[in-house]
Each structure stands twice: as structure tokens, then as C-alpha cells.
Amino acid sequence: MTTKVVVGLGNVGAEYARTRHNAGFILLDDYVSRKGLTWQEKSKFRAYITEFTEGDTKIILMKPTTLMNRSGEAVRLLKDFYKVENEHILVIHDELALPFGTIRTRVGGSDAGNNGIKSLSHHIGADFARVRVGILDDELAVMGATDFVLDRFDPEEYQQLTGNLQPVVAGFVADFINDSFAHTTHSHES
């Protein structure tokens, strides 16, 4: 049986709920809810975990509890325990370099200033699959990057994220599970 891991990046805690940096958590939470699954905290992996089986593939979904900047530590623990190769790891994360409503997929690449991706690259290498969820909007120029990513999505953006964009991300997760994940761009005009 093959094991694949899908990781949503974000920060745990009520103070980070619905923040732009939690796009990975928000989208993975929605995916888990739609599949009727339930998160369980697993301290040995420093993460919330749930899993399901599709065909001969075990899919483990995870949200690190380490905070964004140390996500790689949690993913490394799970990767080593299950002996998962990087080609079987998919990470869903916010991308400050992409306009809100744009989703791009890729394997490998730079961290583009995302400290969660930087941590993953340091702990497991950079050759994992990624779903990059654009969060850039006009507020960045006013707030600065740190405040911007830790600020909450406005209600309209949040609705688009969990409405129009969620099925796109779920489709990329399905492609990853079915070995048909490819580099692509999806742009949703609001």
C-alpha cells in the first residue's frame, strides 16, 4: 500500500482563524469536512491528523501544530514514521506572490518568502508537490507583509476561498492522489 500525505499550512489557535496565512488550514479543513472525516491531535507528529484509503493508497491529511515557521519539523516526523518519499507529499499553502483568486500547482521551487515552505525545504528538501493559493490584494501596500499575512480575509474573500476556490483545490488533491498532478494555473475572477 502506498502512503500519500496532504499537508495544509497555517497557525493553530483562535487568534489565527481565518487569517491569510491559514489558507492551507482553511482549505484542508473544508476538504476534511466534506469527506466526513474528523481531525485528531497526534502529539508524536506535532499535528492534527486524519486519514482515509482510496484503492491501494492510504492518504494522511495533516495540519502541523508547530506554527507556520516550524512546519517542516512536524512533516519530517510523519515522513520518517511512514517512510514517505517527497513525491508523495502535497502541501497546500498561501502564496503572497500570487493575486487573490489565483491557484498554481508545482513540484519544488523556491519558498518565495513563505517561512512554512522554507522550513519544509530545510527539513525534507524542496521536491514536494505544492498547491499555491494566492492571497495578494491591495491591502499589502498599506500593511506590510507580516501584518498582511496575519490579518483575516475580508468576508468576501473568505466566501470565495471556501466557495469558488475550494473545489479547485479539492480537484488538485484528487489529481495528486490519482497520480495525475500537473503544473497548472487556475485564476478565478471575482
Q: Catalytic amino acids?
A: 21
Phi-psi region of 39 (alpha: psi -120 to 50; beta: other; left: phi over 0): beta
Q: CB–CB of 169/133 below 8 Å?
A: yes
CA gap 8, 27 in Å, rounded: 8
Residues 47, 21, 25, 119: is their CA dihedral positive or negative?
A: negative
